[in-house]
Amino acid sequence: MGRGGRGGAGRGRGRGQGPVAGDKSTTTSPAGLAIRSPLGRNSVCLRETMAGSPRSPLLLLLIDADVNEEGVQQALSFALSEYNKASNDAYHGRVLRVLRVRKQVVAGMNYFLEVEIGRTTCTKSQANLDNCPFPNQPDLQKKTLCSFQVYTVPWKGTTSLVKSSCRDE
């Protein structure tokens, strides 16, 4: 046994020395390394390989984001605008509920949005579509669940819709 019961092989880990059983902020990487996230269990590590170096993993953190953040609001507005452009519906769609928002810092920012979109009473040709009411008649109501990935590079002023997947409820 070491001096004063400290150190040595086979001893329990002290504070700050590694993962603790039951610690939900610690996960294991694909390489078998313990990864401790200061953000707790609301974060996810993604593994990608860097171009030209297939053996060098690049861990990218995907975290829950606040729907009220300016970047999230801009991404949500952009995704909804793209949804309405692509939709064959004569009526404008508007967000009913934001189910989940996550973000990921890359060479810019990826926003992963899960939203419920509802059909409004306004046709797409009308002005000021942001305040369009939803119909009261059940036969005119339509809800769609969508997942969007929006990529922004704020310092370049670019925004693009990377992925879009929607299904009617």
> How confident is residue 125, by pLDDT bands cut at 50, 70 and 90?
confident
The DSSP string of 99-137 is EEEEEEEESEEEEEEEEEEEEEEEETTSS-GGGPPPPSS
61-105 per-position pLDDT tens digit: 889 999 999 999 999 999 999 999 999 999 999 999 999 999 999
Please report the pLDDT score of residue 59 as a whole number.
59
For residues 28 and 143, the model is more confident at 143
The DSSP string of 38-66 is TTGGGEEEEEEEETTEEEEEEEEEEEE--
Domains and CATH numbers, the chain: 25-62 (no CATH), 70-168 (3.10.450.10)
Q: Once rounded to an integer, what is the mean pLDDT over residues 159-166?
A: 98
| Closest CA relative to residue 86, chosen from 164, 141, 142 | 164
Whole-number mean pLDDT of the chain?
Answer: 77
40-68 per-position pLDDT tens digit: 555 454 444 444 445 545 557 889 999 99
Q: In this structure, what DSSP letter does residue 18 have?
A: S
